Amino acid sequence: MTTRSITVALGARSYEVRVGRGVRHDLASVLPPGVRRAAIVTQDAIPYEVAPGCEARVFTIGDGEPAKTLSTIESLCRSFAQWGLTRNDCIVAVGGGVVTDVAGFAASAYHRGIRYVSVPTTLLGMVDAAIGGKTGVNLPEGKNLVGAFWQPSAVLCDTETLATLPPREYRCGSGEMAKYHFLTGDDLGALDLDARVARCVEIKAEVVSSDEREGGRRAILNYGHTLAHAIEIVGDYSLRHGEAVGVGLVYAAEVAARLGRIDAARVAQHRAVVSGYDLSTTVPVELATEDLIALFARDKKALDGVTFVLDGPNGVETVTGVAPEILRDAMEATR
């Protein structure tokens, strides 16, 4: 089996991402030096176990976005303290994006920061959530509004785990994969699964290495996410994240077209790529336009009024101050 290794180059905070079948069994070899205990954060539904090669205890959290709360962080940290986890120990996240987001944030906060390793078991986790050090939880007012930049010590993307994903969970990761088509122009569909995952990791690693804390260029990784996050919140998470991102990519293309940044052929390409991943290209009819637009200003990248990541002649980039009438018109075109 071929294992691919990608480095997220961040100086003293650099780390390796391994991609391949069975790499979760490498966990003991990538734990930080001196670790005596490992707190394994996972969910009951995750069918995979890991062996850190040291004393370990499993801590489970709830399923889905409802588990991404400050109360979950408090519960985890209290459990760590009761067990006696110290700053010299580590946390291991085993699961999808919810697990890596929550466990990473807990790692950033417990004892003011301890080391952690991510073992993503979903496509979404492998190509997006577990890479780059963005951790966090939701508030009723918005998605991922409380969190920290906290880089893992290593990431193990075991593609063997993807074989057991339900179709909808797989599509959730496909939404993020679709995004990468427009960041690079790569034809990811020409690659086998392991190579496709590794290429997505390479793209994200390069962007993160150039802008760790999203002061500029890293915002392009949020392509399609402004509407996606609003859809998740207004729809009470009836659409999964990647499904919402697929719709968000088409909507962003419609906004860009109305600003004269791209032409109709490029919009059609967005629709073709998204639908090619078996994802919807339309906003759910039950979600009101004004409810969705009202959430745009709460998005984390909102700098000067409503801020979008949009395609254009210079590629995907941040655009501020998009007029409300354009947002409404583009929404109707995405119905």
Active site residues: 112, 134, 176, 204, 214, 218, 222, 225, 229, 241
The terminus-to-terminus CA distance of the chain in angstroms comes to 44
Q: Give the residue carrying structure tokens 């400050």.
A: 70
Q: Which class for 146: exposed (0-12), middle (13-18), buried (19 or more C-beta within 10 A)?
A: middle
- How far apart are alpha carbons 325 and 72 in whole angstroms? 39
By C-alpha distance, which of 330, 310, 306 is closest to 318?
Answer: 310
The strand ranges marked E within 244-306 are none
Single out the residue of 182, 213, 164, 153 nearest to residue 16, CA to CA: 153
H or E stretch covering 332: helix 324-333
| Range list of H helices, 118-240 | 123-124, 167-184, 193-210, 225-234
203, burial (CB in 10 Å: exposed 0-12, middle 13-18, buried 19+): buried
CA–CA distances in Å: residue 272 to residues 10, 181, 249, 278 = 35, 11, 11, 10
